[in-house]
Amino acid sequence: MGTRHTRLAAALSAAWVAELDTGRHLSALAGRAQSAGEYRRCARVSILAAFCRGHARRLLDRLAAMGRGPLPIPAEAVEAGPDVAAGLLADADFGARLQERYEQLAQLAREHCDLSSAWVCDLNRAEWEGMVRELRAMAEPPRPLAGRKADVIIIDDPLVETGDPFQEA
């Protein structure tokens, strides 16, 4: 491994740490949302945290293929603030920066003729595009469920009798 390949490995390991930390932060935000009774938001944020763990796994696989893994796991001192929406916006902003970084990493990997690493970086970048949009959308306050017509579905079934079954005909 030359020094150029070492530079790529260092950049991939930095992205790995960023993905682990973001996944942990999103998991903490999901816990905050659950304790606030926002179960739909909790589920969506938990799924995005799983995506971060998947990104980290891909990066670790590439590092192992380079002979650079496994890496020491960073400390788990990640806490979410009291405001879930602010945390989601912060993660969306970080994700946008990470998306740009993945684009640079993919180009660096192509320069080193490591097309597998370039593919992983492009895939992670593409997934972050959607994740950033979803995080920003989830940061908006949830709409109230009461009073929405979509919550109640009325089915007119001609096979269902509506009369009194105890009344004689």
How far is residue 6 CA from its own chain's centroid? 28
pLDDT in tens, the chain (169 residues): 455 568 888 899 999 989 998 999 999 999 888 888 888 888 999 999 999 999 999 999 999 888 876 667 766 766 666 788 888 899 999 999 999 999 999 999 999 899 999 999 999 999 999 999 999 988 887 666 655 555 555 555 555 555 555 556 5
Give the C-alpha separation, 4 to 6, whole Å: 5
Q: Which residue has the tokens 């179960």?
A: 39
Residues 91/29, Cβ–Cβ less than 8 Å: yes
Exposure class string for 112-138: b at 16+ Cβ within 10 A, else e: bebeebbebbbebbebbeebbebbbeb
Q: Which residue has the tokens 């004689």?
A: 168
- pLDDT attached to residue 163: 58
> What is the reported pTM?
0.74
- pLDDT attached to residue 161: 57
Please state which architecture CATH assigns to domain 3-151: Up-down Bundle (1.20)
Residue 114 is given by DSSP the state -
- pLDDT attached to residue 80: 67
- pLDDT attached to residue 47: 93
- pLDDT attached to residue 55: 93
In the chain, what are the domain boundaries? Answer: 3-151
Give the C-alpha separation, 111 to 107, whole Å: 6
